Chain A
Amino acid sequence: MIAIVDYGVGNLFSLKSSFAAIGHEAVVTGDADTLRKADKILLPGVGAFGDAADKLRATGLDQVVIEEARRGKPLMGICLGMQLLFDKGYEYGEHDGLGLIPGEVRPIAEVIPAGLKIPHIGWNALRFTENKSPLFQYIKEGDCVYFVHSFYAANCEPDVIANAEYGALLTAAVQRGNVCGCQFHPEKSGKVGLHILKAFCEEGNLC
């Protein structure tokens, strides 16, 4: 069973539906025991880094997610949920993340040329790195996924598994052992996105 962490941030309807579409049971939960019993954990998120990090801490689920990840349980962060996996975020001030992947979350505006629109919104192609990930076993280099973000994960090169080109290479997906994350929305990325979720769900991947 996949547990989708519910900490009052964002709409989890599409995410839950997308697991149903690939034949995997997913529950939306804010219950610590359910997270501990789950086979895999999915950390979603929309909005601002500091606000979401505070909400996650207020529920106490941040510690459960960290403990389960450290015990080796597969964990996937999506969009802001991916950003929270890092050490720090710099959106409206400096905020601590979960510290599960080394790196920090910084404004896209710092690295892309002036004149490009922010947020980076729309379908963009995945550029795989030399780090091979089982998450991509059903998709290919150049497949497009749907992005909506104004901040990106920086200084995390050793764990980047895919980038997207938008005036600069922006971190699209990361994996460090059993912990992974997608900056894009797999639940809004058509068949390609469902294939990534399917790979995440499969036994033995990211364990």
Chain B
Amino acid sequence: MITKRIIPCLDVKDGRVVKGVNFQGLNDVSSPVELGKYYSDNGADELVFYDITASAEGRRLFTDILTEVARTIFIPLTVGGGINTVDDFDRVLKCGADKVSVNSGAIRDPRLIFEAAKRYGDQCVVLSADVKRVDGVFRVFAKGGRENTGMEAIAWIKKGVELGAGEIVLNSIDTDGVKKGFDLEMLDAVCSAVSVPVIASGGAGCIEDFVTLFQTLPRVDAGLAASIFHYGEVTIPALKQALKAHNIPVREV
């Protein structure tokens, strides 16, 4: 039985993790290497590093850091942010990333998904979609959720899978940051539409939100979150204990 994955997401800017993170035993709370190792040692099933740098210098720093992370951590690493071309895939894969997540770059040019999947395999291409309800319709937003593309979300995600995306990260803008639970309605719609793994993102506020997610929607493969892990509101060992107690399969560490 495949286990449900728990995935912390780290935003990296100019080589440092943004959003103050404060764990006991961490010397440098904004070092992606130290934090990555902390999560890896404490039961994370996968890590997502998201590059929110805007400058070329910041991007170079990011790839240096990524190389260091990949040298230290032996769980799957997904990288996103600033991925617009197949060369961008090449750049982060050479640093040791296992999967690459595309968002705005794929919206601008959907062929990116196809070209990357053809070269590196479907399993390497993750389509990340920021989705929000507009007048009762799920719409895809670009540029970090700031711009309504007008595209209907389910159709876009289905198209992404047809082009070769091997996994979907569904981030609900409606529930993101609200901490009242994942967007079960939106996730259900996506899970019903595609047969590739779906990773839920946006809205987790406590352990029970993950239990509800996997109990209500057994087809969801993973739960992703950032601040609740970073601020220690939810620890991954405690989360996995609770999931296990509800007979939800998890990897114990």
Interface stretch, picked from A64-72, A88-96, A187-195, is: A187-195
* B-side interface size class: 20 to 34
A-B pairs with beta carbons under 8 A, tally: 77
Task: Give the segment of A34-42, A54-62, A115-123, A198-206 that binds chain B.
Answer: A115-123
Known contacts A121-B197, A124-B1, A124-B2; is A148 also within 8 Å of B75 by CB?
no
A148 with B96, Cβ < 8 A, contacts A122-B221, A124-B1, A190-B74 known: no
Contacts of A193 in B (CB 8 A): 74
Partner of B123, one of A11, A14, A121: A121
Known: A122-B2, A123-B5, A124-B1. A189 touches B74 (CB 8 A): yes
Instruction: Let me know if B121 is at the binding interface, CB within 8 A.
Output: yes
Q: A144 near B3 (CB under 8 angstroms)?
A: yes
Selected contact of B75 from candidates A117, A121, A146, CB within 8 Å: A146
- Residues in A with CB closer than 8 Å to B252 are 144
**Bound Cα distance A21, B71 (Å):** 8
Question: Size class of A's contact patch?
Answer: 20 to 34
Query: What is the CB-to-nearest-CB distance from A127 to chain B, in angstroms, rounded to a whole number?
Result: 10
- 0/1 interface trace, chain A 135-164, chain B, CB 8 Å (1 if under): 000000000101010000000000000000
Contact between B70 and A13, CB atoms less than 8 A apart = yes
Complex: A144 Cα to B4 Cα, angstroms: 12
* Contact status of A14 and B70, CB under 8 A, knowing A146-B75, A190-B75: yes
Q: Judge if A100 is at the interface, Cβ distance under 8 Å.
A: no
Closest to A16 in B: B71
B63-75 Cβ-contact flags toward A at 8 Å (1 or 0) = 0000000111011
Q: Which single member of A117, A165, A189 contacts B196 (CB below 8 Å)?
A: A117
In the assembled complex, the Cα of A194 lies from the Cα of B75 at a distance in Å of 11
Q: Which of A14, A117, A118 contacts B74 (CB 8 A)?
A: A14
Q: In angstroms, how far is the closest chain A Cβ from the Cβ of B44? A: 9
Query: With A and B bound together, what is the CA distance between A158 and B223 in angstroms?
Result: 38
B123, chain A: closest CB distance, angstroms: 5
* B188: interface (CB < 8 Å): no
Cβ-based interface call for A47 (8 A): yes
Chain B residues close to A by CB (< 8 Å): 1-3, 5, 40, 45, 70-72, 74-76, 93-96, 98, 121-123, 166-167, 195-197, 221-222, 251-253
